[in-house]
Amino acid sequence: MNRRSSPGAGQWFTVVILVGTSLFLLIKLFQFASLRGNYPTGLTVAGVTVGGLSPGEATNVLTNRYIEAPVIIYHGQDRFEISPADAEFELDLEAMLSRADIERTQQDFWAGFWGFLWGEPVEVTPVELSATHNREALRRVLADISALMDEPTQPAQPVPGTFSFQYGETGTITNIEASFADIEGALYRASNREARLIVEPSNPERPQINLLTRLLVNSLQDYEQITGGAASMFVMDLNSGVDEIAINADLPMSGMDLLKLPIVLETYRLLDQEPTLTQSSWISSTLSADLGNEGANQLLRFVAGQDDPRLGAELVTQTMQRLGLVNTFIVLPYDSDPPAGTVRPSTPANSTEEVRTLPNPYLQTTAEDMGTLLSMLYYCAEGKGGTLMAVFEGDISQTECQTMLAFMLQNKIGSLIEEGVPQETAVAHRHGWISDTHGDAGIVFSPGGDYVIVQFLYKPDWLEWEISSPLLANLSRATYNYFNFDNPYLADARTN
């Protein structure tokens, strides 16, 4: 039997496999060695794969993904592209690539080669993003978008001819502070660099008192231009105690029946017990009805402590002075002629160069004085202290203040302040009129807040009721509607 001396096919196949494998491994080993200066397979820097890249190539890729790629910001449906440079966004490439080099140099050669062969990382720690930005610079960018896209709120406005106000229109406002988290998140992402601004509705604010002031001023100026007369008005928000309107409120005006209120106040200050039935009748007629002036003059006699109403008037005036109401005085009782030599008191109001209103020389006040007195009475009745309680401690009580207001609430005339508010609204007021001057001063207890309103109109020689009554009612309506903005009194305004 002959034995074959040459290798068989199987042996040749094995040799080929071994040689081929060796050549493949040698080639791959050479490739791996030549790429040994690049970053290891699977390494990520700031979420970007840089395996197999040189530091220069990695720098280009990171710059492209983070610096050159814009961030998309949505304001509602509107799309804006901003450059990261606008937010002064900067990559700390040196720090990140330094950590990447550490990963490269610390990797075991043969473990790295094995990962290179299979395309899988072996014990490679990702390098986290290291970057900074300037929040104030970003804020300026967002503020520019906000200024361009936000819709301003339209403020409330008077409704022409109605003495009421209409709601303003809702706008939009960008909440920049609340938007930072989403936008900065997009800025620090390598992909999906989109974010949304938080856009909120901007509701119109309740109208400020200057809106009511404009409406009142316009109406009173029209009256003065048409009639050649003078108008004076004072409004105070009793809830805030600080918001007020004073339109010619320091003009001296004839006191008329409005100054019966200080007479009753002085009466209660001097009473050391409940008023008698007769005294109560005098108080009622003085505050709540047009039954002549006898009740007021009788109270002046009580104040004087003798049958001298003129002395009582002097004492009432002194009380007004103590309260700081320096423009208010009563020299004579009602329906009396001045004795020879009677001198008109001088006040800051009537000492100006030109007094346009020709007030009664012996019975004067101003809208501001009357409004201030009413506010004192209100706070006393509400148990909130105030000037009356401070100046006349122990001489005037909360119950007495409440009683005075109760009498004034019975003063029903159906016009002037009352006509400008709903019938069910409580109005504690005292009105008065003479040939050339009409006025009303009161406290309105409305659902939207309590307030003082004092109105005076003067016209030389004769003031027609057809002129004064609708105007004073309309001004009262405008004031009521300001304080009750959400539920205005929409009765048809009377025309002058």
Q: Could you state, in chain order, the average pLDDT of each consecutive group of 10 residues for the chain (496 residues)? A: 60 71 64 60 87 88 94 95 94 92 69 61 80 95 94 78 76 94 95 94 82 92 96 96 94 97 97 94 88 92 96 97 97 92 92 90 97 97 92 93 96 95 96 97 97 98 96 96 88 54
Q: Is 103 helix (H, G, I), strand (E, B) or coil?
A: helix
Give the global pTM: 0.71
pLDDT score of 164:
78
For residue 90, give Cα distances in angstroms to 62, 87, 129, 133. Answer: 11, 9, 11, 6
What are the structure tokens assigned to 182, written together? 């989403």
- The answer to whether 248 and 232 are in contact (CB under 8 A) is yes
Kindly provide the b/e burial profile for residues 113-133, where b requires at least 16 CB atoms within 10 angstroms of the residue's own CB.
bebbeeeebbebebbebbbeb
pLDDT score of 496:
47
- How far is it, in rounded angstroms, from Cα 117 to Cα 128? 26
- Phi, psi of 432, rounded to the nearest 5 degrees: -170, 150
Please calculate the CA angle 294-299-301 and round it to the nearest 5 degrees. 95
Strand partners for 330: 363
Total residue length of the chain: 496
- How far is it, in rounded angstroms, from Cα 310 to Cα 316? 10
Q: H-helix or E-strand containing 21?
A: helix 9-34
- The answer to whether 259 and 252 are in contact (CB under 8 A) is no
- How far is it, in rounded angstroms, from Cα 168 to Cα 485? 11
What are the structure tokens assigned to 5, written together? 């001396």
Strand partners for 90: 132
Residue with tokens 């005075």: 404
Nearest to 449 by CA among 408, 482, 478: 482
What beta strand segments (E) does 307-350 contain? 329-330
What beta strand segments (E) does 283-425 contain? 329-330, 363-365
Domains of the chain: 30-205 (no CATH), 209-483 (3.40.710.10)
What are the structure tokens assigned to 144, written together? 């520019």
pLDDT tens profile 335-359: 999 988 888 899 999 998 788 999 9
Residue with tokens 């809702």: 170
DSSP symbol at 158: E
Q: Is 309 exposed, middle or buried (0-12, 13-18, 19+ CB in 10 A)?
A: buried
Q: Is 418 exposed, middle or buried (0-12, 13-18, 19+ CB in 10 A)?
A: buried
- The answer to whether 204 and 155 are in contact (CB under 8 A) is yes
